[in-house]
Amino acid sequence: MNAEANSAWAKDKAHVLHPYTDFASFHDEGSQVITGADGMHVTDTDGRKFIDAIAGLWCVNIGHGRREMAEAIADQVMKMQYYNPFGHSTNEPAAELGAWLANHAPGSLNHVYYTCGGSTANDAAIRLVHYYFTMRGDHRKKKIISRNNAYHGATYVAAELTGIHGTKNSFDKVGENFIHHVSAADMFAKPEGMSEQAYCDHLVQEFETRIEQLGPDNCAAFIAEPIMGAGGVLVAPRGYHRRMWEVCKRHGMLYIADEVVTAFGRLGHWFASEDVFDHQPDILVCAKGITSGYIPLGATLISDEIYDVISRPQCEGGVFSMGLTYFGHPVACRAALENVAIIEREGLLSHVQEISDYFQSSLRTLAEDRHVGDVRGIGLMAAIDLMEAPEEKRPFAASFKASDRVFNACLSQGSIVRPVGDRIILSPPLIIEKDHVDQLTGHLRNALTYLRT
Ligand code: PMP
């Protein structure tokens, strides 16, 4: 076997099925193999060093390669690396983290269900919603309203495939078609001439109308990312989340905030729902930044009100039967505790509050480019929309692969950005400094010239 065939690149290409990957072209190109990571940077097998402008995948909040994380993880492995987490036993880090989350989360979100990441945490949220209404005797309240363009995860209906009698007692058969979608809060889609306030009214009215159509007695919950992330870093009109929450309250629905991206500092706060968007969700879902991606972990937080109902004696639906082997994994929870200690010790929340103005205004200078339709964002989340002719809202032909061109041009200069559709998405580690912002903006400015036809 020659050296290339024996390389990680070749083995990966031959054997690994990557997410969101066109397997046909992947077979020829393979993947860039990242071998090192330190602070704001990652390096590949060729020794090339890049600014990681997407924090891994919206997750490496404290930056790469932190020795304190390695030490905390190693220490926990040496002490107690794993034990069965079901009802009769627990571990110290899971308990400590539960208390930390209850102290820092908005409102009365005092109870946590741990999972393996964001998708499983959203699965748990839906399971808990159904369980809650079943326990209350509201057997019809099962429908969930989400939004077009939302991203909430990738798991399949594993529980539906399970055939063991008794594992589904606590979950009613909701059948197909229990998830519905309303419009995204997309200011770029706001009709010409309509005010921000009127657009917000329109979205809230659409939500009300959908609830009326589905029947308020059937509607259980609304789920939303505070800032729609993968859907394009869409910042909702002012007051939107609060008003959607008020509609939920009026119709006896639960509000689920999917803070998988926005929690743990990305918007300069532990959680965005209350501090940035002025409402207290009934359920809050987090993952990613909870451990800064050092180890997978997700968490679904529920309010006292929900807990009081599901903890009633002799619940008619039986026990909450969603069980994950790695629930409250001690090493992951210990990593999360160290991660939040680093964020606290280094004042990263206030750092984000300060640096994000510089980050956002620096990126907005790119709006002058003739192929940029919009630059937007908040905190350390941003998106750049690429267009052939922004004044006519004319997109590039798909075959032109505009965002791939910008991605490749950034890569060759030393920055990794994220192409999604005809957008570039940015979500750097929270430790970003002004000189990183300057380099990144410079790389993007040059990269945009690759769109000239
Ligand atoms: N919710 C949101 C808002 C996300 O951005 C993501 C992942 N990008 C998920 C859920 C799913 O998380 P995971 O990939 O950890 O399952």
For the stretch 405-451, pLDDT in tens is 999 999 999 999 999 999 999 999 999 999 999 999 999 999 999 99
Mean pLDDT of the chain: 93
| Residue 155 pLDDT | 85
Given a cut of 60, whether residue 132 has pLDDT beyond it is yes
Ligand 1, atom 10, residue with closest C-alpha:
152
3 C-alpha to ligand 1 centroid (Å): 37
Task: Report, as an integer, the average pLDDT of 384-403.
Answer: 95
| Residue 276 pLDDT | 87
The answer to whether the CB of 244 falls within 8 A of the CB of 273 is no
pLDDT tens, position by position, 312-346:
886 565 788 888 999 999 999 999 999 999 999 99
End-to-end CA distance of the chain: 44
119 C-alpha to ligand 1 centroid (Å): 6
Q: What was the ipTM of the complex prediction?
A: 0.99
* Pocket of ligand 1 from Cβ distances under 6 Å: 58, 117-119, 122, 151-154, 225, 229-230, 258, 260-261, 287
Q: What is the pTM of this model?
A: 0.95
State the virtual CA torsion across 395, 399, 403, 405 in degrees, nearest 10. Answer: -130
Ligand 1, atom 12, residue with closest C-alpha:
118
- Using most ligand atoms within 8 A of CB, pick from 116, 146, 152, 234 the residue to mutate for ligand 1: 152
Which ligand 1 atom lies nearest to the CA of residue 262? Answer: 3
Distance CA 219, CA 360 (A): 38
| Residue 1 pLDDT | 42
List domains and CATH numbers for the chain.
Answer: 32-62+348-451 (3.90.1150.10), 71-345 (3.40.640.10)
| Residue 197 pLDDT | 96
152 C-alpha to ligand 1 centroid (Å): 5
The answer to whether the CB of 61 falls within 8 A of the CB of 339 is yes
- Two structure tokens written together for 23: 């397997």
Please report, for residues 20, 21, 124, the alpha-carbon distance to residue 120 in angstroms, rounded to integers and kept in the order given: 18, 22, 6
Please report, for residues 10, 29, 100, the alpha-carbon distance to residue 1 in angstroms, rounded to integers and kept in the order given: 11, 20, 52
Chain-centroid distance, C-alpha 286:
7
Which ligand 1 atom lies nearest to the CA of residue 122? Answer: 10
284 C-alpha to ligand 1 centroid (Å): 13
241 C-alpha to ligand 1 centroid (Å): 20
| Residue 167 pLDDT | 65
Q: Which residues contact 59 (CB under 8 A, 6 or more apart)?
A: 287, 288, 289, 292, 293
